[in-house]
Chain A
Amino acid sequence: MKIVVCVKQVPGTTEVSIDPETKRLIREGVSIEMNPFDTYALEQGILLKEKHGGELVVLSMGPKRAELTLREAIACGADRGVLLNGRPLGGSDTYATSYILSQGIKKIKDVNLVICGKQAVDGDTAQVGPGIAAHLGWPQVTYVSKFIESGESELKLERMHESGSDVSVVALPAVLTVLKDVNIPRIPTLKGRLNSRKVDITVWDETDLETDFEKIGLGGSPTRVVSTRKPDARDKHTIVLKGSASDSARELMKILKSRLEL
């Protein structure tokens, strides 16, 4: 089985600022980590590879330093890493990003399964996984909470939704997005860490990927950020209670009572 796990390098903090020109996140000078939701996708890829053999490739689009995230994934058990990097790829929205990643998957060749985290913690859109499925024309199974059975050519999966769950079978190739419930991600071994330093990371740019230039970067993105602002601080009069716990509780009851009478 040839598996691709998509990982994203995200800011390790919520203190962020925005480039006034591109209106997109300034990633320089911010601490970074692997998107926490992607660690479950990675672990699932490792588990499936352990069971079925084959190859596990980690794929990311981002700046050069996203190599670090790919090496971290290799330290955990991925075989190799592919980074999609190039100035024209920058500023891509979820449509363009999923297009570029799907081109990377095509170029990796003979992929049976793509696994993504349910969403990235910075953008929070959950759109790239389904976008990849649509660009590849493969079925998707989102919000996977359990791998019930895994065979070489099909998977039996449980999905979660707000009002319950369902059980489904998908024939490969397919794209999955997984929830935290699927597994407990492992920590890299020392041997894995040493190995991850030696492995070469493949870097492909827009030309290597044979992308349609109309579909990448800021220019190829259907959506455009027109303005950004800080969230409103709600302008209101707050009653502050600072006394003992019992005084505050009693005061609160009075306020609630007068509110109910209104």
Chain B
Amino acid sequence: MKLSELDSADNYNDVWVLGEVVEGKVHRVTLELLGKAKDLAEKRASSGSKVVCLLMGYQLDGLEKELFSHHADKVIKVDDESLKFFNDSIHASVVTRLVKKYKPEIMISGATSKGRSLMPLVAVKLETGLTADCTGLEIDEESGLLLQTRPAYGGNIIATIKCEDYRPQMSTVRQGVFKVLPEDVSGTGELISEFVLDEEKQTSFTIISEEGLDGETRVNLHDANVIVTGGRGVKSADGFKVIHDLADAVNGAVGATRATIDSGWISYSHQVGQTGLTVQPEVYIACGVSGQIQHLVGMQSSDFIIAINKDPDAPIMKLADVAIVGDLFEVVPEITKLLSN
């Protein structure tokens, strides 16, 4: 909503996290965002800001406990069968109504496919701004405004964006950008139940069925301690064999750059980078990856980065902790051999 004399910024408090539930569990990105929300709310303590998690879905019994122990001061729960599947229309109507009722100052969501579908709908319904895929969120000390940082134009530029005259200030954030804060198991808070109105259930969009991914196609890049990524230097779909071999040897996952996916060498679910996943494993091994910024923004927070490339001047080599200059088809099998012993 555009701020005015009648509806000034002082009417808006609290930092909201739009929670997400997957297969009956709180999504990790929700826990990451609660940690960030705590930081933001503390910096806005002068206006009495609290951390609030809005959790919508079906059969959510008990999930608030985990949200409280991850630093939510308040949980607003909407538990209704109409929210069983992700119906954009119903979800957007409910969020919009509750935002108007409670007036949060900031609302953040994971940049998951749901978050990226729901937040822009809600932002337009609320007539406010939204910044996608933020890599940094800070409070400007002077103005108290949310400063949203995101890579723009293919990651060549890092832009800082604000939303001064409209509320709430809204952002989506990729999984893996912020770390989950240590749990406080004794944490408690206020639980509020809200409901879906009958008219909100009337929509011309209906979800008939839902299917999970089978184990074969699920690439668990977020949970892997080691990720071995192939870039353009892998040259072909067959070239990914050495990458898979190394990943198998270290019980890791296989990542890929956009170029290899566009070439059809490997499926999209492996993509790391700005249009793929953001990851932060303990060890990231980039093989034949030049290190275009779009890729770097997805993996630069990894604890330890190893790059293997023929070109010593490739950007990835400067980012790496260990840069191995050489042909990946010679070096990678050597590493696999040593690790297998």
Instruction: Give which listed residue, A15, A163, A256, contacts B22 with CB less than 8 A.
Output: A163
A236 and B88 contacting across the interface, CB-CB below 8 Å: no
Q: Is there a chain B Cβ closer than 8 Å to A122's Cβ?
A: yes
Shortest distance in angstroms between B105's beta carbon and chain A's nearest beta carbon?
A: 14
Bound state CA distance, A18 and B209, in angstroms? Answer: 45
Nearest to A259 among chain B residues (CB) is B304
A241 and B210 contacting across the interface, CB-CB below 8 Å: no
Bound state CA distance, A15 and B85, in angstroms? Answer: 41
B297 and A231 contacting across the interface, CB-CB below 8 Å: yes
Interface residues of A in 209-261 (CB under 8 A from B): 221-234, 236, 238-242, 244-246, 248-250, 252-253, 255-256, 259
Tell me the interface secondary structure of chain A in the complex.
mixed
A23 and B129 contacting across the interface, CB-CB below 8 Å: no
Instruction: Give which listed residue, A14, A18, A163, A167, contacts B208 with CB less than 8 A.
Output: A167
Q: Is there a chain B Cβ closer than 8 Å to A160's Cβ?
A: yes
Residue of B22, B128, B326 with most partner-chain A CB within 10 A: B326
Q: B128: which A residues are within 8 A, CB to CB?
A: 95, 222
Bound state CA distance, A242 and B312, in angstroms? Answer: 9
Bound state CA distance, A242 and B327, in angstroms? Answer: 11
Tell me the interface secondary structure of chain B in the complex.
mixed
A163 and B23 contacting across the interface, CB-CB below 8 Å: yes
Q: B123: which A residues are within 8 A, CB to CB?
A: 95, 127, 131, 134, 222
Q: Is there a chain B Cβ closer than 8 Å to A87's Cβ?
A: no
Q: Is there a chain B Cβ closer than 8 Å to A121's Cβ?
A: yes
Q: A124-B132, A170-B204 are in contact. Are A14 and B154 (CB under 8 A)?
A: yes
Nearest to A177 among chain B residues (CB) is B117
Total interface residues on A, CB under 8 Å, equals 77
Bound state CA distance, A32 and B166, in angstroms? Answer: 34
Shortest distance in angstroms between A164's beta carbon and chain B's nearest beta carbon?
A: 4
B330 and A245 contacting across the interface, CB-CB below 8 Å: yes
B159 and A142 contacting across the interface, CB-CB below 8 Å: no
Where the two chains meet, the residues of B that have a C-beta atom closer than 8 Å to any C-beta of A are 2, 22-23, 85-86, 88-89, 92, 112-114, 116-125, 127-133, 147, 151-166, 203-213, 268, 274-275, 283, 292-294, 296-297, 300, 304, 306, 312, 317-327, 330-331, 334-335, 337-339
